[in-house]
Amino acid sequence: MVVTIDNKQLNIKEGTTILEAAKSAGVKIPTLCYMKDICEVGACRVCLVEIEGDDRLSAACNMVAENGMIIHTNSRRVLDARRVNVELALSAHNMNCTTCSRNLNCTLQTIANELNIADVPYENKPRHDKWPEDFPLIRDSSKCVSCMRCINICDKLQSLGVWNTRGAAAHLNVNVAGGKAITESDCSLCGQCVTGCPVGALSARDDTAKVFDAIYDPEKVVVVQVAPAVRAAWAEEYDGASAGQMVAAVRALGVDYVFDTGFAADLTVMEEGNELLQRVKETHSMPLLSSCCPGWVRFAKSQYPELVPHLSTAKSPQQMFGAITKTWFANRSEIDPAKVFSVSIMPCIAKKHECALPGMSSTEHGQDVDAVITSREFMRMLKTRNINVCTLAGENFDDPLGTGVSVIFGTSGGVTESVLRSAHYFVTGSNPQPDAFSALRATSNLCETTIDLNGTPIRIAVVSGLAAARELIEKIKTGKAAYDFVEVMACPGGCVCGGGQPIYSDFETTPERAPVLRDVDKGATNRLPHDNPAIKKVYDEFLKQPLSDKAHELLHTDHGLWNMR
């Protein structure tokens, strides 16, 4: 099939959209609402093109090219129409760009600059809807341009339908579906709508001031843990800067200790791995469902409450780390636990909710984790303090909580692979080859396999993205599938693509982050969590053994202590 775009003759496959055809020829057509396979509704009318013989302009994102079409992407009609549509979008948009977290990384701002829009001839009338400021997910209606991305992401990727439109025509706006408050909704706090929003109308609650207050308080001992997935985003944001430079950057903020959440991921392996083996041995109702992703736990509690008893009682690595910090670490370091201010840097928005849940305060000294900041917040803090990452020499995490083996926890399948590496040892007494369970390295949203564990078959499913999780759960409920262990990550691809990670205007070109953690794992001297000397030390000195009374007190939780609403 042959089409002509801006005087370029192209051979394309049947069913190709004009936008895809133009992209293949290196012809740029601006888009605002478009996300491939997710949002192709043509709502913004920014990608308009002119087709010879057609009196109307067409949206390139959802118009399928036909044989013989002659298409113009930059005619006077097209440019004038685009300009008007962008000006209308700006008239309903809060244009105080300098205080917006997406300033210089905003698709609308970029398109306006490309169209040389210096003034908007229409009255500026943004909406101002109320929103709970303490909720981890923040929506600023004054910035929303009704592009429908959040609606389609939540529907297609996560199957939750949290967002929908209200009103019609000039009064059309996006808000929580069913006229509900966000606190009444089934929002999982995955944050995928945040990463998909092109204009900053959706964001994570900013907790940076809370952390800076603690840093400047001489009575506080600020302890920071950094999740493995953060280093993947770090490398792409700072042009390949090392994990050591990341540690140095955290320390340069003025904190007292910098630790690796990977240490607590190893703890999770020890506890969850033994919990799995105990369930298999005692023929408990299966499957055992992973519990380290709070977005998935919220989803399970709202959509499938009958599955809550199947959730592992093991806390997430973040929460295990907080509990150990305010007990074992504080005691052995002769620090008053009441003075410890525990901060985690996470790729996730749901972690902000998780740290404040009932059951996540293991001592009388308040929450185990006092504040959670996302990767984006961390990077903003560095800018605020004028820390030049490129000039920093690499530094090591502090001991004894700075050594973590399970860096692949940040990728889909990484939790299960790490658990099985140690479960094999618990059962056989011998170490497996670290890559023995590579079949779990998901290349799609769902991976299924059966592992032979010393003669016992362990049926496993690994799934990421809540729509895929729903599909899998329905198979389990109807008896079409049966497993012993199911790992679920709310975000497609796992934590590396979490809702708190850096945002790129072109969603399709977001770098592949999982290989960063896989490469770290592959190059590590020790890849077996149970062989981590720091893990051996915490059990020898404090916890005694996995699933002990002390381990249950600090590292496990009762999911029945809280409800979604």
Residue 32 belongs to domain with CATH number? 3.10.20.740
- In the block, residue with structure tokens 């600090």: 554
Which of 34, 69, 90 is the endpoint of a domain?
90
Beta strands in 18-86 (DSSP E): 48-51, 57-59, 70-72
d(CA 243, CA 231): 6
Beta strands in 239-355 (DSSP E): 257-260, 288-289, 340-346
Same domain assignment for residues 85 and 213: no
d(CA 53, CA 65): 14
Residues with Cβ within 8 Å of 148's Cβ and at least 6 positions away in sequence, in order, are 33, 39, 41, 43, 165, 174
**Positive or negative torsion for Cα 217, 223, 226, 227:** negative
pLDDT of residue 160: 98
Same domain assignment for residues 515 and 379: yes
**Is residue 484, in this structure, part of any structural domain at all?**
no
**Is residue 371, in this structure, part of any structural domain at all?**
yes
**Is residue 39, in this structure, part of any structural domain at all?**
yes
Which of 59, 90, 121 is the endpoint of a domain?
90
Please measure the distance between the N-terminal and C-terminal CA atoms of the chain and give it in whole angstroms: 54
**Is residue 241, in this structure, part of any structural domain at all?**
yes
The one-letter code for the residue type at 299 is: F
Same domain assignment for residues 221 and 358: yes
Which of 30, 60, 90 is the endpoint of a domain?
90
pLDDT of residue 281: 86
Same domain assignment for residues 78 and 221: no
Structure tokens at 480: 């079409």
**Is residue 328, in this structure, part of any structural domain at all?**
yes
Residue 51 is classified by DSSP as E
**Is residue 552, in this structure, part of any structural domain at all?**
yes
Number of domains in the chain: 2
**Is residue 470, in this structure, part of any structural domain at all?**
no
The domain that holds 238 is classified in CATH as 3.40.50.1780
Same domain assignment for residues 373 and 230: yes
Residue 323 is classified by DSSP as H
Same domain assignment for residues 75 and 221: no
Q: For the whole model, what pTM was predicted? A: 0.95
pLDDT of residue 504: 82
**Is residue 102, in this structure, part of any structural domain at all?**
no
Same domain assignment for residues 82 and 223: no
Q: Which domain holds residue 12?
A: 2-90
Residues with Cβ within 8 Å of 401's Cβ and at least 6 positions away in sequence, in order, are 225, 257, 259, 260, 263, 264, 321, 324, 325, 329, 534
Closest CA to 262 of 524, 445, 439, 549: 524
d(CA 386, CA 388): 6
List, run by run, the mean pLDDT of 10-residue segments along the chain (565 residues): 95 96 96 94 96 96 96 97 97 94 94 95 94 97 96 97 84 90 97 96 98 98 97 88 96 98 96 94 85 98 96 97 97 96 98 97 92 97 95 95 90 94 94 90 85 92 97 96 96 95 71 85 91 96 97 96 88
Q: Hey, what long-range contacts does 177-181 have (CB within 8 A, 24 or more apart)?
A: 181/132
d(CA 324, CA 368): 8
pLDDT of residue 510: 60
